[in-house]
Amino acid sequence: LTPCEKVLAFLRGLSRRKPLDPEGEVSTFNRCLTTVDLVALGVGSTLGAGVYVLSGEVARTLAGPSIIVSFFIAAVASVFAGLCYAEFGSRVPKTGSAYLYSYVTVGEVWAFITGWNLLLSYVIGASSVARAWSGTFDDLIGNVMANYFSKHAAMDLPGLAPYPDFFAAGLIMILAGLLAFGVKESTTVNKIFTSINILVLLFVIITGFIKGKLENWNISEETLLNVTYQNISATINITSEYGVGGFFPYGFEGTLAGAATCFYAFVGFDCIATTGEEVKNPQKSIPLGIVFALLICFLAYFGVSAALTLMMPYYQLSIHSPLPVAFAYVGWAAAKYVVAVGSLCALSTSLLGSMFPMPRVIFAMARDGLLFKLLCKVNSRKSPTLATLSSGTVAAIMALLFDLNALVNMMSIGTLFAYTLVAICILILRFVFAAQHHNSNLTIQISQDAEDPSCQQTYATEGNTTILMVVDRFSRGVRFLAFPSLHTAFQTAETLFAQVFWMFGILEHILSDRGPQFTSRLEVWSLVCVSVITFAILLSVLLIWRQPQNPTKASFMVPFLPLLPVVSAFINIYLMVQLGGDTWIRYAVWMAVGLLIYFGYGVRHSVQKQRLLGNVVNMETTEATCKKDVAK
């Protein structure tokens, strides 16, 4: 091969895809989880400490009482991503979550990038939650740990924490040991803490509706002006810093801004998708677990935020500890201890939810040869011990030493990138994947319906597998049966990638220095630019919708295709673009490290590469044997 041909072959190798059922791959996990286990895991991971803090911050600074609308919008946006995960969970019920979904649809290099992004979000998530657990507990005991370590082990270096948090690091290692011991035991502990958390939130919601007043949802602007006047020294041209009052004190724009913040409160349900090889009935349990977990979380966030804004005027809410302050406002100060218990339980389940999927993604990547092979070994209880302990050690070191406030936004990039790629992969799976794997040697069997001769059952089979079952209506003796073709597949792929670039174009414009107010400034060029790009996106969605789809059915399928995955990808990209430049620089460094590992180790040890090379060798051997037989 010429050097140019070698480069092209190498680049083609990066896009090699893993089969749905690869030859020689056997699951080593214990199938012991039920739908209830998955729902508890998803709720525990998603309904973390944010429910005790986020509601007060968003209500006071962005949305006011309309925070319940913000949570509704955020929940709908999260459901879009959740439904995409649910279909993949029913079609590809194996360990790996978005990493595996990317591998079977868009290729190896994208799969590695997705898996590396997931590891980033899980490691930082576990470390930050552990430090929050430590800080909450330290507050309850009078800041004993903070005072001692700040005095005797202070760290004054940039990027490091004020003092080493040994408690947070120890907590991570204890949970890592629990996860390494067995999945059933860890999910049992998770269900206990999640149940306590739900009971505490029910107490908050019921109390809020009993002690709350509807007047707090309709505060007048005059009241807000008086409050503002008391807080400032100026006596002329007073403008309320708390909005205009009413249910939407900051306008609907504030409600939408609150929804963007609330979206992160629903991050975490994807841990359910990593349990594909540990669930008794994954095709049914994974979709149900994702949908029910998101529904329960929405009801909890909705109820707590409604109770909070009913108990206390939104402009008086505490940003850091809204629930204890609200209970003190209504005369129930002792309830802060109940809230503290619920908060610690929520932090515990959130920490477990961050640590649970981390070793499973590592295991899946190591099993495929993209990470070191030692990490895919399991113990006698069929748990990935080495992957669990190694990932727990990394998270513990980060919780011990680093200042995580500057790194939390990197976690958002990793999660949102995975959500975006899963949404795109759903479109590829339904419009492109089937065409590329379509075998033209299909056996078509048609059976007549005795009761209705115009209706026939059509089965398309490949070998012993039925891949299509439809009811065809005949019109003038012509039968209509559409399969995706390579032509329509490439059309869909081209439209899809062009659409992603259009999304980035419109978002970069809207989020630029001049973009957010372009409609109020009536800048004609801006309106024309955005209108053209929006029309192009809508046209691309229409072109995708007109393509034939994958006829293979699954136990759960995303509705409203292709609109729902496109909207999901749009929302995720929108949130990613909002993150600051410093965050993207740190993210680039993390990705550089990951790509060094992939090109230094993963490319050479890829199991799928070895499978393909083995097939080529077998084909060459067969051809040589045939030539010898012909010669004889």
Q: State residue 438's pLDDT score.
A: 45
> What is the C-alpha separation between 281 and 36, in angstroms, rounded?
12
- Stretch 432-446: mean pLDDT, rounded? 48
The residue that leads in pLDDT, 359 or 6, is 359
Q: State residue 512's pLDDT score.
A: 53
Structure token pair of residue 40? 């508890």
> What is the C-alpha separation between 151 and 131, in angstroms, rounded?
19
Going by pLDDT thresholds of 50, 70 and 90, the confidence category of residue 487 is low
pLDDT in tens, 220-268: 888 877 766 665 544 444 456 778 888 999 888 889 888 888 888 888 8
Please determine, for residue 628, whether its predicted confidence score (pLDDT) is greater than 50.
yes
- Average per-residue pLDDT for the chain: 80
pLDDT in tens, 156-177: 777 788 889 999 999 999 999 9
pLDDT in tens, 309-353: 999 999 888 887 898 889 989 888 888 888 888 988 998 999 988
Helices marked H in 221-335 — which ranges? 221-231, 251-263, 282-311, 322-329
Please determine, for residue 476, whether its predicted confidence score (pLDDT) is greater than 50.
no
Structure token pair of residue 411? 């976690």
Residue 477, amino acid? G
> What is the C-alpha separation between 137 and 340, in angstroms, rounded?
9
> What is the C-alpha separation between 78 and 25, in angstroms, rounded?
33
Structure token pair of residue 254? 């504030």
Q: Which of 136-140, 422-426, 429-433, 443-447 has the highest mean pLDDT?
A: 422-426
Q: State residue 561's pLDDT score.
A: 84
Instruction: Check residue 62 and report its DSSP letter.
Output: I
Structure token pair of residue 579? 């993150």
Instruction: Check residue 63 and report its DSSP letter.
Output: I
> Which 3 state secondary structure label does DSSP give 535?
helix
- The dihedrals phi and psi of 448, each to the nearest 5 degrees, come to -80, 140
Please determine, for residue 295, whether its predicted confidence score (pLDDT) is greater than 90.
yes
Q: State residue 334's pLDDT score.
A: 87
Q: State residue 465's pLDDT score.
A: 37
- Stretch 210-215: mean pLDDT, rounded? 90
> Which 3 state secondary structure label does DSSP give 30?
coil
Please determine, for residue 37, whether its predicted confidence score (pLDDT) is greater than 70.
yes
Q: Report the range of poorest mean pLDDT among 196-200, 357-361, 391-395, 469-473.
A: 469-473
pTM, 2 dp: 0.81
Q: Which domains does the chain have, with CATH numbers?
A: 17-431 (1.20.1740.10), 443-479 (no CATH), 485-580 (no CATH)
Instruction: Answer whether 329's CB lies under 8 Å from 312's CB.
Output: yes
Q: State residue 447's pLDDT score.
A: 46
- Stretch 605-628: mean pLDDT, rounded? 67
> What is the C-alpha separation between 358 and 20, in angstroms, rounded?
22
- Stretch 519-530: mean pLDDT, rounded? 61
Going by pLDDT thresholds of 50, 70 and 90, the confidence category of residue 549 is confident
Q: Which of 305, 289, 269 is nearest to 37 (CA)?
A: 289
Residue 353 Ramachandran class (φ > 0 left, ψ -120 to 50 alpha, else beta): alpha
Q: State residue 526's pLDDT score.
A: 65
pLDDT in tens, 48-60: 877 888 888 899 8
pLDDT in tens, 105-129: 888 999 999 999 999 989 998 998 8
- List, as one string, the DSSP characters of 399-450: HHHB-GGGTHHHHHHHHHHHHHHHHHHHHHIIIIIHHHT--S-PEEEEEE-S
